[in-house]
Structure 1
Amino acid sequence: MSAVAPATRTHLWRTLPALPRLLIVTQCAFNIGFFAVLPFLADHLGGALGLGGWLVGLVLGLRTFSQQGLFVVGGTLTDRYGPRPVVLTGCALRAAGFGWLGFADATWSVIGSVLLVGFAAALFSPAVETEIARQAVRHEETTGVERTRVLGLFSAGGQAGALVGPVLGAALLAGGFRVACLAGTAVFLVILAAHGRLMPDTRAGGVGVGGAATERPSLRGGVRQLLRHRAFLGLCLAYSGYLLAYNQLYLALPAELDRSLGSQAALGWLFALSSVLVVAGQLPLSRWVAARLSPPAALRCGLVLVAGSFAATGVLLPVGGVVPSLAFVVLLTLGQMLVVPAARAWLPDLVEDRRLGFFTGALSSASGAVVLAAGAPVGALLERGGAMPWIVLAVVPVLGLVGVRRVPPPGSPPPSRSAEPAEPAEPGRPA
């Protein structure tokens, strides 16, 4: 313990090598560029372009699918080629997509640009998340600083970007939506240049010790592993329950504000409150959690808080005003601050390093599919009104608790490693 103490007392940022710092700054910049444009997209489509409500919904849904639904593609490419080319390609496509969107005025052009914007994120986000998880584990092994603290800093950086982005976008909209899009393009071109210069090649499966070529993991073998990896499927169940609950910020919360206040005027302030809580509280909370809880235990606690956010809202409905919504946002955000770093920290213990990208992408894609499938039933449930929908939704993260298993004992391989035989090398490639 004495050998670890000096590292844990040092300011976290100062202990980090250059690559994790770059990835944390990247996450902040990604969200600045993204949130400077996307929150204003629906108004632009329905207002300036005059698209019908159904078409606006379709465009937004296609963007979500092309991003969240294709995370597994970006994760697989990361395993095969390393994060650097995937991040660079994603940044270039995102810059091109925002530039295209700024000049798109026909429906086909809007859809094409939005799909490009979403697919770009499906490339760089899994690559960045995979590499920050890998770097957090290595930093923990080297210094004793718990990986959840590094991943908490990563989450806080992303949330800071989500807080700054809409403010920047609102200011840029004075010059029109095209100006905001071009600013987003500029942000991603800067990120592209920075990564082209500073991001090293950290492929897990491309080049081995001494420069020898090593086998790159195949997609088919990864799918086989996934389908019989019970611990990972349990994590998917837990994370899907969290993500479905978290998405109620965009569905249940506006509906509650309309019911209690007659408008959604407070929605922006509540979103800002959520961001401020993460930016200000993520690091202290991660430090406290790292000293006391394993990632699975932190994940369980986070899911309990998420469930509590719905139960508290249902109980507080008779109070009226903004109180139920405020309780929902605060408790849900606290749950998020536990669940997200814990899930990212636990995943490297469950899967082999060379497939970390694939499983990182699969976790997001599977959870996104659950959210997509549950959207209509949840919307219908919320139309019933009263406390009942909130109590029912509180059950969702509780069901996710079923999937959270104990972390494997130190030194024991995860189930996927011991159960899966080595794959043969592809024809023409040395094993």
Structure 2
Amino acid sequence: MSSTPAPAARAARTPVLLGTQMLFNIGFFAVVPFLALVLTDDFGLTALAVGLVLGVRTFAQQGMFLIGGVLADRFGARRTILTGCAVRVLGFATLALSLLLPSPQLALFITGTVLTGLGGALFSPGINVLVSDAEQRRPPSGARSRASLFAWLSVAGELGAVIGPLVGAVLLGWGFVVVALGGAALFVLIGVFLAVALPRRTGSTRQQGIHGRWWSLGDRRFVAFSTLHAADLLAFNQLYLALPLQLTRAGAGPDVVALMFAWVSALTLVLQLPVSRWCHRVGAARTLRVGYALSAAGFVSVAAGALAPLDPTGRIVSVFVAAGLVIVGHLTTNPTAQGLVPRFAGTLPTGSFFGLLSTCGGIAVLLGNVAVGALLGWEAAPALAWVFLAVPLAVAAVWVPRLVGAVGASSGSSLGR
């Protein structure tokens, strides 16, 4: 008897995954954006110390994706997703507990931030595995161009990223403890829902009976691909680091920074699906080349604005242009890169491949942000930070399409290539 699920089951699974991604982001962005405020106001940490704590949290998530992916291969996506939900509930509850004790406990709060990251490192690779599986089972589109499920996942996640801070801001009126407990309660509900909605036997038929291993590390082409593609996540993270700092240097207030975030969210919601259809039409190699080039052009525009004799308004405009180019580049490259994972994996399970792709990005962000922060403070060379960000994107634009072209449809097992 075939192990392929019935069509009705396949149709029901995709909305569950997309809805789950939106709920994940609502719960995440309802809590995490307010961590810096608590660390500053309740614990009296300096900006440097706050950055370090949040950097550790980010690395606990992005840096541990490879482990989460291997566990998804070994124990199944469903089990790792549910475990990730439980760990994030524990993390949010720990954040609340650190402030409920007679005196605020910084060590406990930091433990909670790390646990929230580890929870994401467990459930996100599992979601990617299931979305990839659903994408592979979709019927051929023929001559039509259609958005990939990873593009839909991006839209669903962005909706959650827009709604989450609004929910958190409302709950913050009752204190951060209520915000953290509200996030924990939401992830409890998500976990219960997924325990019922996700089939107990997940993953494609090609993955059944193959135990999870560090398959991705044995594929030299995929390691190179993941390393080069890390430039995309580093560029994307500058929407929250370097570009807001540049706006502040140009004399912009918090309202202008918030407007930039709204601009980025609007572009994501409006353009992700049309961009994905274009990507489907022109092919992965050309898509990636264009996407990396767009992001690089964004940083070049900021560099030009920093060197040119522009007034503050002109510099603010250059940052908005850069943010637009970077986000469109990310909308182009990120779903495409995730969609290529099954081609690299061949007949092997995809969990460790998705994990390595994200882990390389997490390492690039951790190290790259330190370098960007240092270069931004070098007043003698105001464009150097932006050139530093543009160069790896330009390198990726040249080399990644060659790697993609080298991965043929008959790749099979990619181990040791």
Deviation string, structure 1 residues 88-119 (Cα, Å, up to 9, x no partner): 11111111211221221201211211111111
1:397 to 389, 393, 409: 393
Partner residue, 1:429: none
Deviation string, structure 1 residues 19-49 (Cα, Å, up to 9, x no partner): 1211111111111000001111111111023
Distance 2:9 2:79 in 1: 27
TM (norm. structure 2) is 0.88
SS at match of 1:17: helix
CA contact (8 A) 1:204 1:354 kept: no
For 1:47-126, what aligned pairs fall within 5 Å after superposition? 47-104=41-98, 105-126=104-125
Deviation at 1:135, TM superposition (A): 1.3
Partner residue, 2:175: 176
1:307 to 262, 277, 296: 296
Matched positions, count: 396
Runs of 4+ in 1 over 6 A off after TM superposition: 142-147
2:370 to 371, 376, 381: 376
Partner residue, 1:5: none
CA contact (8 A) 2:70 2:355 kept: yes
Partner residue, 1:233: 223
Describe the shift of the 1:50–1:387 C-alpha distance in structure 2 as closer, same or farther (beyond 3 A).
closer
Describe the shift of the 1:115–1:202 C-alpha distance in structure 2 as closer, same or farther (beyond 3 A).
same
Distance 1:77 1:120 in 2: 13
Partner residue, 1:154: 153
Describe the shift of the 1:93–1:145 C-alpha distance in structure 2 as closer, same or farther (beyond 3 A).
farther
CA contact (8 A) 1:238 1:400 kept: yes
Mind listing any 5+ residue stretches in structure 1 that lack a counterpart? 1-13, 421-431
Deviation string, structure 1 residues 109-134 (Cα, Å, up to 9, x no partner): 11211111111111001111121122
Deviation at 1:137, TM superposition (A): 1.8
Mind listing any 5+ residue stretches in structure 2 that lack a counterpart? 1-7, 99-103
CA contact (8 A) 1:139 1:145 kept: no
Distance 1:54 1:309 in 2: 27
Distance 1:85 1:145 in 2: 36
Partner residue, 1:246: 236
Deviation at 1:52, TM superposition (A): 3.9
SS at match of 2:200: coil
Distance 2:383 2:291 in 1: 22
Partner residue, 2:22: 28
Distance 1:284 1:233 in 2: 30
Deviation at 1:262, TM superposition (A): 5.1
Deviation string, structure 1 residues 318-359 (Cα, Å, up to 9, x no partner): 433220111011111111110111001111111135431001
TM (norm. structure 1) is 0.85
1:277 to 255, 259, 267: 267
Distance 2:9 2:153 in 1: 14
Is 1:287 the counterpart of 2:267? The answer is: no
RMSD value, Cα: 2.6
Deviation string, structure 1 residues 368-427 (Cα, Å, up to 9, x no partner): 11221222222221122433432342222001222332345764125615x58xxxxxxx
Partner residue, 2:357: 363
Is 1:214 the counterpart of 2:203? The answer is: no
Q: Which moved more, 1:355-364 or 1:386-395?
A: 386-395
* Structure 1 letter corresponding to 2:414: S
Describe the shift of the 1:399–1:195 C-alpha distance in structure 2 as closer, same or farther (beyond 3 A).
same
